[in-house]
A and B are shown apart, each in its own frame.
Chain A
């Protein structure tokens, strides 16, 4: 048999698309509000190794038939496109909008931030909260819970500052997002 020379040794495994940097994308997904739908979406992300930075879900229609899920994810453009296509493949998914791709949009999240301390630290915490328009929603003589809302980076920054004045714990909602202008996404 006229066989060619033996093949060269296989090259080491490389990442699939090494040239592409990771991007952060916010996806808005409307789904049938039925049992298991969140499991389908979260399972899709874990099964295919996609990242979830945050995920929020609540029903948004008067008859409770449709829920809106906002997912913040990171990955190379190719992976983001795959996520989009894979989400659209799920039977109860009505629509998937990549808000980051679609244009200007607003993103907001809310955090509850518990801070404990007395004296100067307590005063400083209040002063900083005022600058961030964070509102105390619970007060004891030695602690506050602040409610702060805004972009992810603003919330991050507020939490970072609170670390220095006695941060105890944080609860965040994750991002809710919507396209700017009069039209739905």
Chain B
């Protein structure tokens, strides 16, 4: 088989098509014109024109996170590539499989400071899982296939392919490559069986176990979620999750403790603090999860399952590390448990303690009067849409944490949020990406009025592709989380955290061709939500909430799990300089 003689641009599209790519999020420019021309001449791959390259990457992330398939981005050289960098870094931090194709100036111009030239592979080297500068058209097909292999296997992440314009124009033979067997990149999928058996025995003998799960379960696929449920059922252990792992375990289960970490529940953090065995499944002991390290679960044995061995002992020392895909490891763990006929030793006393912590009702709030409590807005939204099995995206800030606390999930791939990088402006483009993947599903971006302005231009994209995304803004006129930290650590000096001169969001929405709804008081809340759901197109809801509400519970900077602040009443003074520096 000799393949067909094609241009580099055509080879790219052939390869993408062979890899099952159905949609590209992109923005044209000089250095990718040959690719756009080739796109124009074919019908297999759709192109979604975003309004800013950062939006393209977040949309691809949303698409990937919701569908489990890799997201694909196409942008031009120079500013196209640099605008994409935030999205690429976001995908790296949250382990999202994304392939970003950037145009580059022609090979003979590289290094001459040509128009719209930048050192894309240099700039993205440390914010991508891997990257390539393709200098020969004949190598392109192989690189594209390898890039997808790397982006989607092991710990997923963004891969950048920088493609000079002359390489897009030159011709070569395209032949679909066989199975990729990389020379050096060979992620381990199956965990070591002896270690898994040891883990099963540890679980069976633990009196106070806890399953601490993360985004790895979502990345591994639906099977991992299924196996997690099975393992929780067999062991009777309570389950908590990181922000990234929400949905992997059903929130309606009596074993569910809620999210852990800085804004996690009291019961989840106390259980982490006092367990005798912690089983970390596809999470990475992030600083937002652990709090102060020397106070982090000081008396527990720890098992860590991760596909990326660099996560082992990075911040927290573990007793048993199992390298492998968490879905496969869970599968083996369940098999070992069953074949050995193991029985749990979870003590009644452990669940009694947990019941005691739950009785604190750390997420309780009081809605009184016309002013809307932000938690109440989310709870009413959840109530109205739960039966529709919606996909929820968020921006970054207080609203994100309130959504994580007050919008429980039953299934994976329904919760798309920027965890590691904490990128304001993530939610709207991510919602667009998710809606492209699932045109008939309800997709809602729970947003803040500051974050939404960071990628507001993508409203135009939603209109162009008739994507009925909903944006539900909790508008308190502040960068709420910034203000909250200023309340907690700077005696309430609100330096630049108030957003003066906010636009009239309803008029703004209408200008973009969206429906705009404003909710001012509690009595308008349910009707506003109903109106949002009744409209078939995109809707922007400007929900005015209490201006000075802060998000609790909270583990303050530099504190341990057992030192949670439960409400505003517990907030005291200024932090000392060393705690302040921790962030």
At the interface, yes or no: A135 with Cβ under 8 Å from chain B? no
A3 contacts across to B, CB distance below 8 A: 360, 566-567, 569-570
At the interface, yes or no: A21 with Cβ under 8 Å from chain B? no
From A6, A8, A39, give the contact of B125 (CB < 8 A): A39
Say yes or no: A8 contacts B126, CB within 8 Å.
no
From B185, B359, B570, B582, give the contact of A6 (CB < 8 A): B570
Q: How many residues on chain A are close to B (CB under 8 Å)?
A: 34
**Which B residue sits closest to A47, measured CB to CB?**
B126
A88 contacts across to B, CB distance below 8 A: 309-310
Q: How many residues on chain B are close to A (CB under 8 Å)?
A: 45
A43/B125 contact (C-beta < 8 A), A10-B556, A10-B576, A12-B579 known: yes
Say yes or no: B315 contacts A11, CB within 8 Å.
no
Distance, CA A43 to CA B128, complexed state (A)? 12
Say yes or no: A4 contacts B556, CB within 8 Å.
no
Segment of A77-85, A99-107, A154-162 in the binding face: A77-85
Say yes or no: B578 contacts A16, CB within 8 Å.
no
B133-162 Cβ-contact flags toward A at 8 Å (1 or 0): 100000000000000001000000000000
**Which A residue sits closest to B565, measured CB to CB?**
A7
Shortest CB–CB separation between residue B104 and chain A, in angstroms? 13
Distance, CA A72 to CA B406, complexed state (A)? 50
Say yes or no: B563 contacts A11, CB within 8 Å.
no
A44 contacts across to B, CB distance below 8 A: 126
Say yes or no: B360 contacts A11, CB within 8 Å.
no
Say yes or no: A10 contacts B292, CB within 8 Å.
yes
Say yes or no: B361 contacts A89, CB within 8 Å.
no
At the interface, yes or no: A35 with Cβ under 8 Å from chain B? yes
At the interface, yes or no: A93 with Cβ under 8 Å from chain B? yes
A91/B310 contact (C-beta < 8 A), A7-B556, A13-B558 known: no
A91/B129 contact (C-beta < 8 A), A3-B569, A10-B559 known: yes
Shortest CB–CB separation between residue B481 and chain A, in angstroms? 18
A44-60 Cβ-contact flags toward B at 8 Å (1 or 0): 10010000000000000
B361 contacts across to A, CB distance below 8 A: 1
A13-51 Cβ-contact flags toward B at 8 Å (1 or 0): 110100000000000000110011001100110010000
Of residues A10, A12, A31, A43, which shows the largest number of chain B Cβ atoms within 10 Å of its Cβ? A10
At the interface, yes or no: A94 with Cβ under 8 Å from chain B? yes
Distance, CA A7 to CA B292, complexed state (A)? 13
CB within 8 Å of A: which of B537-583?
Answer: 556-559, 563-567, 569-570, 572, 575-576, 578-579, 581-582
Distance, CA A1 to CA B564, complexed state (A)? 14
From B125, B292, B579, give the contact of A36 (CB < 8 A): B125
At the interface, yes or no: A9 with Cβ under 8 Å from chain B? yes
Of residues A3, A78, A86, which shows the largest number of chain B Cβ atoms within 10 Å of its Cβ? A3
A91/B130 contact (C-beta < 8 A), A2-B359, A32-B183 known: yes
At the interface, yes or no: A92 with Cβ under 8 Å from chain B? yes
Say yes or no: A10 contacts B557, CB within 8 Å.
yes
At the interface, yes or no: B201 with Cβ under 8 Å from chain A? no
Shortest CB–CB separation between residue A48 and chain B, in angstroms? 10
Distance, CA A4 to CA B360, complexed state (A)? 9
Shortest CB–CB separation between residue B317 and chain A, in angstroms? 8
From B184, B185, B564, B579, give the contact of A9 (CB < 8 A): B579
At the interface, yes or no: B312 with Cβ under 8 Å from chain A? yes
Say yes or no: B184 contacts A13, CB within 8 Å.
no
From B122, B129, B131, B360, give the contact of A1 (CB < 8 A): B360
Distance, CA A164 to CA B293, complexed state (A)? 50
From B312, B360, B579, give the contact of A2 (CB < 8 A): B360
Distance, CA A141 to CA B304, complexed state (A)? 67
Shortest CB–CB separation between residue B483 and chain A, in angstroms? 20
Shortest CB–CB separation between residue A46 and chain B, in angstroms? 9
Say yes or no: B126 contacts A43, CB within 8 Å.
yes
Shortest CB–CB separation between residue B362 and chain A, in angstroms? 8
Say yes or no: B564 contacts A7, CB within 8 Å.
yes
Shortest CB–CB separation between residue B295 and chain A, in angstroms? 9
From A4, A7, A9, A91, give the contact of B182 (CB < 8 A): A91
From A1, A12, A32, A43, give the contact of B566 (CB < 8 A): A1
Of residues A35, A44, A89, which shows the largest number of chain B Cβ atoms within 10 Å of its Cβ? A89
A13/B578 contact (C-beta < 8 A), A4-B566, A91-B130 known: yes
B348 contacts across to A, CB distance below 8 A: none
23 contacts between A and B (CB under 8 A): A1-B364, A1-B567, A2-B360, A7-B563, A7-B564, A8-B563, A9-B579, A10-B563, A10-B575, A11-B578, A11-B579, A12-B578, A16-B315, A32-B183, A36-B121, A39-B122, A40-B126, A43-B125, A85-B310, A86-B310, A91-B130, A91-B185, A94-B183
Using CB atoms and an 8 Å cutoff, list the residues of chain B in contact with chain A: 121-122, 125-126, 129-131, 133, 150, 182-185, 292-294, 308-310, 312-315, 359-361, 364, 556-559, 563-567, 569-570, 572, 575-576, 578-579, 581-582
Closest 10 CB pairs of A and B: A10-B558, A7-B563, A12-B578, A85-B310, A10-B579, A91-B130, A94-B184, A3-B566, A13-B578, A91-B185
